[in-house]
Amino acid sequence: MVPKCHHSLRVIITPMLRVDFLTLFPEVIRGALSHSMMKRAEEGGIVRFGTTNIRNFCYDAHSKVDDVPYGGEPGMLIRAEPVALALEAIGACPKTRGPGTAVISTDPTGMLFDQRIANELASLSRIVFLCGHYEGIDQRVLDQFSTHSISVGDFILTNGELPALLVTDAIVRLLPGVLGSEASLSADSHSDGLLSAPNYTRPEVWRGIAIPEVLKSGNHQAIKRWRRDQALKVTKLHRPDLLATASLDKGDLDVLSF
């Protein structure tokens, strides 16, 4: 006889995030994701990574994925059809993708990536990156298939794999169970609109330089105030633009006035 259970057992299942990369260089993606946090997140069933080689959807004798741009622009451009076929093959076209899916092109003309966007994307169930190369991807397929265009900064890279990986890292680390300490997320730079305060570890004195006394005091309120004050000062010094959107109280304004 099986004994009756007097307590209901609630099992919480966290949905797995699926991240796909449409790329000409799947080995670059897999190489970067096979280490550290990203590897552990995939092995732990928190995220699943997939790569699709765009070149596999070129149906000519030489698997030619690019062509010259119209209008006499220099360089080469990835053609629309291989990208469209690849997206359709993985179920990421507008008719087949789910409501929690983002199809992201990495492009210097896109919106500037920040922590707010990372938080939004981390709530989705699937993300597909279109990794451009050469001079990018034919605009027509981007207009038809992509939901987001993201830039990681005001500079140009030779490929879209690196920004896609950067954005992926920022998103995946937010998922429950990825970091060893969930509390560390709230201490990160940009988590509250400010840069983070300086951090110190052992030894207490290194090459004649001691850590701030307050960190040894055991006074949690004093430490919290010190960290907040330091975050304000660091942000004012290095990224004063962030203060315009940060949530500040009167105590913060007093610190910033000096």
Query: Tokens for 196?
Result: 């983070």
pLDDT recorded at residue 4: 43
> What is 189-256's CATH number?
1.10.1270.20
From the candidates 55, 173, 228, 239, give the one annotated as an active-site residue: 173
Which residue stretches of the chain are H helix? 26-33, 36-43, 80-89, 115-121, 139-145, 161-172, 183-187, 220-238, 250-256
CB atoms within 10 A of CB 177: 13
From the candidates 42, 88, 188, 192, give the one annotated as an active-site residue: 188
Q: Hey, where are the domains in the chain? A: 17-172, 189-256
* Residue 250, CA distances (Å) to 189, 237, 254, 257 in order: 21, 19, 6, 11
> What is d(CA 212, CA 226) in angstroms, rounded to the nearest whole number?
10
- Can you tell me which residue has the tokens 């076209």? 93
Do domains 17-172 and 189-256 share one topology? The answer is no
pLDDT recorded at residue 62: 77
pLDDT recorded at residue 206: 96
| Residue 93 neighbours by CB under 8 Å, 6+ apart | 84, 87, 145
40 is catalytic: no
From the candidates 42, 81, 88, 135, give the one annotated as an active-site residue: 135
Tens place of pLDDT per residue across the chain (258 aa): 444 444 444 444 457 999 999 999 999 999 999 999 999 999 999 999 999 999 999 988 777 899 999 998 899 999 999 999 999 999 999 999 989 999 999 998 899 999 999 999 999 999 999 999 988 999 999 999 999 999 999 998 999 999 999 999 999 999 999 986 665 655 555 567 899 999 999 999 999 999 999 999 999 999 999 999 999 999 999 999 999 989 899 999 999 998
CB 30 within 8 A of CB 39: no
> What is d(CA 179, CA 37) in angstroms, rounded to the nearest whole number?
7
229 is catalytic: no
From the candidates 40, 42, 108, 227, give the one annotated as an active-site residue: 108
The fourth-level CATH superfamily of domain 17-172 is SPOUT methyltransferase, trefoil knot domain (3.40.1280.10)
135 is catalytic: yes
pLDDT recorded at residue 182: 65
176 is catalytic: no
